[in-house]
Structure 1
Amino acid sequence: MLIDALLMAKPHEVSSRAESLAATGIDGIFTFEGPHDVFLPLILAADTGCHLYTNVAIAFPRSPMHLAHTAWDLADLSGGRFSLGLGSQIKAHVERRYGSTWSSPVGRMREWVEAIRAIGRTWQDGDPLEYVGEHTRHTLMTPAFEPGSLPSGPPPIWLGALGPAMTRLATTVADGMLIHPFTSDRHLADVTLPRIRAGLEAAERPRSDLTVVGQAIVACATDPATQADADTAARWMIAFYGSTPAYVPVLETEGRGHLHPELRALSREGRWDEMAAMVDDDLLHAVVLRGDPAQVASRLVARFGYDFDRVALSTPGGITDEALSALVTETRVATAS
């Protein structure tokens, strides 16, 4: 099981931050669609030797051609150590934040994956470009716009999936699947993993065909004061996700479905501190992997060690490089034992 860390820094600090993360011994570096561009930091992380991926880039505001070019260049720059992680986001953000169009998210995502693959075959193998879908079409490629083949081949496409329909799509057409970090041991075991197994069986694909990336909200510290701050940040993140309808099933799995209407009402009023206070210790422990590096490593292995290929660490309260390095070491020891 490989361990990956989030690269998040202001643009002028990205290069040094990427080097610091790599020095902790992590295996991969990922970015997310947050306050800065999701792709540009990975350019500066290309020389770290870590695997790089977007977790996730929002697909629909970008055309498949834009995504194909960016992924191709990052794969070339990193020597084949890049995977294109795509997500759909929700209608409000796609329409009102990105100013793009929203319809049939699962159908559109399938076409985005198929179109990027078709473009890749043209660049890699010289196949004529002829992709016509309901939502996108690509039928023109001249030599002036071809980047040339890659020694490593086209970069893998990973899909962020939460619900049953997107999970079926990911297990059918993607090279990898990114599990959402808002989950619990019970929800993974009872809901997510059975969906993945059923999807692969229906698609007649072996498990080895799909890179499964687990994600975890982590609050890891070596002293009580820092742990308390990390726990508070984790409570806020749980409350934020819990206010969104798409994540209600996780609350329901943990017997907390009744929290959603209250959290949603508070979020609309901007009462964020009150939302975090609604997350009790039992729910915090069910969702968040928390404690010192050895304790978190034990939880990581118990939750992800036997069914997942990689784990991406979401650390809303931050984590020191020393604690991260210790966590990586402890996890490898626990995995090997």
Structure 2
Amino acid sequence: MRFMHVDVMTTPQPLQAIGGLARRCRDAGFDGLLFTETGRTAYLNAAVAAQAAPGLELSTGVAVAFPRSPFVTAATAWELQEATNGKFRLGLGTQVRTHVVRRYGMDFEHPGPRLRDYVLAVKACFRAFRTGKLDHRGDFYSLDFITPQWSAGPIDAPDPHVDIAAVNPWMLRMAGEVADGIHVHPLGEPGYIARHVLPNRAEGAAKSGRSPEDVAVIVPVMTIVGDTDEERQRERDLVRASMSFYGSTPNYAFIWDEAGFEGTTARIREKQKAGDFAGMAAQITDEHLATFATETTWDGLADALTEKYGQTATRIVLYNAIADPERFERYGAVAQRLSAGH
């Protein structure tokens, strides 16, 4: 069995609650905890988790980039890297136009090239914290001023890895060129990874003279686990709802189509416009689940995940592991098997 890092995905929690969750993750045997930013900030949760559970790997997966300046993001990541003794990964994403423009009040033109420039600007800030010299001149961001009192200064840890969320081929190539990791979309089944993620990562990495293996592939996985059909049925319903939510976005329609489920997005959006959330979930058939989720018994989960992602994923992120305390411990035992490579 190939070695894989295994993280738990969560949305940020109230700060008084996150320390306990971080300790549970570490004690259960997970490698890390990944915060996907929603109404609460991923960075504050990561800071509390770093203090509560030393040794746990922490990442934002993902934090919204454009509402924060590259310097602010870099400084925050730098402090978290120091607090975790080098176990923090900065995961960034564009979000979508409506959120960035109408909720955050920021520009969203040319999001792909803008994010590329953003990543380079963040990395320029990391260099500036060590050297005292800031010089980044890009198409969207120009940074060329820093003084000692406004620099975090060197830390006794490597620069944080900078990962980005990428779906379409251009973004995947860009990630391969300038980022340290790719957050694959939750609908990213193995066929999509083989057709798009790996070849485009390789093309981008070659452009910057790197090996594709220098760019991590971080894959969220939806699991349906249980030793009886009744035990698995509840998770099937939850996964259908999650898939229908992600599958309603037009930009992701090609993932369904290429996997043999043409028109899935259109059918989901029709139900969405009518406010029929149960109808949205009903568009996700058992055949969808078989392709896009991993359904198995508890004893078979480690082998099933290895078979599905072992040759492609650097890290897998368990999407629905924290819902039940008893099941959480069982997922942790599986994570330990995967992390140990047997």
TM-score (normalised: structure 2):
0.91
Match of 2:328 in 1: 321
Residue 16 (structure 2) aligns with: 12
- C-alpha change, 1:185 and 1:307, in structure 2 (3 Å) is closer
Q: Show the counterpart of 1:31.
A: 35
2:49 aligns with one of 45, 65, 70:
45
Q: How does 1:128-139 map to 2 (within 5 A)?
A: 128-139=133-144
Conserved in 2, the CA contact under 8 Å of 1:179 and 1:212? yes
Aligned-partner Cα distance in 2 for 1:208–1:258 = 35
| Kept in 1: contact 2:177–2:204 (CA 8 A) | yes
Aligned to 1:161: 166
Deviation at 1:317, TM superposition (A): 8.2
1:171 to 164, 169, 176: 176
- Percent identity over the alignment is 28
**One-letter amino acid of the structure 2 residue matched with residue 12 of structure 1:** Q
CA contact (8 A) 1:230 1:318 kept: no
2:304 to 299, 306, 326: 299
**Offset at residue 235 of structure 1 (A):** 0.4
User: By how many angstroms is 1:146 displaced?
Assistant: 1.1
* 1:187 match: 192
State how 1:1-337 maps to structure 2 within 5 Å. 1-8=4-11, 9-46=13-50, 47-126=53-132, 128-222=133-227, 224-315=229-320, 318-319=323-324, 320-332=327-339, 335-336=341-342
Aligned residues: 334
Please tell me whether the aligned partners of residues 29 and 333 of structure 2 are also in contact (alpha carbons under 8 angstroms): no
C-alpha deviation, 1:224, in angstroms: 4.2
CA contact (8 A) 1:159 1:170 kept: yes
Structure 1, unpaired ranges of 5+:
none
Structure with higher RCO (Cα < 8 A, 6+ apart): 2
Mapped to 2, the partners of 1:279 and 1:120 lie a distance apart of 44
The one-character-per-residue Cα deviations of 1:95-144 (angstroms, maximum 9, x if unpaired) are 12222211111111111111111111111122x22222222222221221
CA distance in 2 between counterparts of 1:5 and 1:181 reads 13
Asked whether the 8 Å contact 1:178–1:213 carries over to 2, the reply is: yes
SS at 1:45 equivalent: helix
| Long gaps (5+) in structure 2 | none
Distance 1:217 1:81 in 2: 25
SS in 1 for 2:253: helix
**Displacement after TM superposition at 1:198 (Å):** 2.9
Amino acid at match of 1:4: D
Residue 50 of structure 1 deviates from its aligned partner by: 1.5
